[in-house]
Homo-oligomer: A and B are copies of this chain.
Amino acid sequence: MLHIVIMAGGSGTRFWPASRGRRPKQFLQLATDHSLLRETYERITPLAPPERVWVVTAESTAELSRDVLPELPPGNVLGEPMGRDTAACVGFAAEAALSRDPGAVCIVLPADHVISDGAALCSALAAGARHVETVGGLLTFGIRPTAPETGFGYLLLGGREGESNGHPVHALDRFVEKPDAATAAEYLAHGGYLWNSGMFAWRAADLLGEMERQLPRLRAGLAEIATALGTEAEAEVVAARYPELQRISIDYGVMEGAGQGWILPVDFPWSDVGSWPALREVKEADADGNVVRGRVAAVDSRQSILVSEGPVIGVAGVEGLVVVATEDAVLVVPADRAQEVKTIVGKLKDAGWDDVL
């Protein structure tokens, strides 16, 4: 049967001060009044009942995830004692799904993306799942690019191999790392390069079979964990074994070398909301081009991202600025330098101001 695996393990500092160590991006309300995790869950509810929805997240955010998704059986939230990259993450979920359902087919998707057209998403996901359920292999969903983005990895389409529910399915040629601007422009012109969305579909058994072949040590570690799943020893075994799992991405660790790799291209609007300025992609701007959240008074200001999680923000005469305010911290940075949030966070760490990290 169809299982949904939501990867909610991300951490990171790009959304400081809203995101914190104990409240990473997927728990933020960026596009709507719901957290990205909640939105991700709600988008896929047409595909599977809560009993077959899994969340893999950091152990430290497992309780928060259960609070956000009270419909899920608590055991469906799998806590990672530490992040071991995406291969371990999806393998963990595959073992969990298999432990309940020997015929499990998994759709895997990140918790922190914004996709407004849920119907288009579900149609594509269902088609991908149906394809792998029928013919096996590992399938990844590729987004048709709309701009020469340098912030994403790309997938290269192989030949068209078939169709599922009206969606063409191609062979997966290869994964390509984030390109420079010139290369990204070539990719866009070429037409055969898609954005790597981080969404996948496979039979759980097929994924673990490929891991057995390509990453036998990882597979062995997961198998040990699998034997403990649902028993009293689960927490202890996970805590002991998970940190030893090989740290490698599903893309390069398994997908690229898979016996049968597929790409299902999709072209619905999609954003990974990679930084504060990307809020513009998922939230409508006002007449002055400002993207506003919370109580904000903007005087003669344009093209800015003005986000409050509590305090009133008053700005005048600013342009292209990011201002984010929480109860205990404020960020101000030009939109075109938003990547420097990392540097700020580093400086806060150096200063020992851990209360705001």
Contact = CB atoms under 8 A, between A and B. Distances in A.
Interface of A: 16-17, 295, 297, 299-300, 308, 310-318, 321, 323, 325-334, 337, 340-341, 343-345, 347-348, 351, 353, 356
B332 A332 contact: yes
Given A316-B333, A332-B318, A325 B297 contact: no
Contact of A314 (B295, B299, B300, B329): B329
Contacts of A344: 297, 299, 314-316
Contact of A353 (B312, B321, B341): B312
A149 B320 CA distance: 32
Nearest to A317: B337
B300 A340 contact: yes
Number of identical monomers bound together in the oligomeric complex: 2
A340 B297 CA distance: 12
Nearest to A338: B316
Contacts of A299: 340, 343-344, 347
Contacts of A353: 295, 297, 312
A300 B334 CA distance: 12
Contact of A327 (B17, B327, B332, B356): B327
With most chain B CB atoms within 10 A of its CB, the pick from A310, A330, A348 is: A330
B329 A16 contact: no
Given A312-B330, A317-B340, A318-B333, 9 more contacts: A295-B351, A310-B328, A311-B328, A311-B330, A314-B329, A315-B344, A316-B340, A316-B343, A323-B330
A334 to B, nearest CB: 5
B356 A312 contact: yes
A315 B297 contact: no
A125 to B, nearest CB: 38
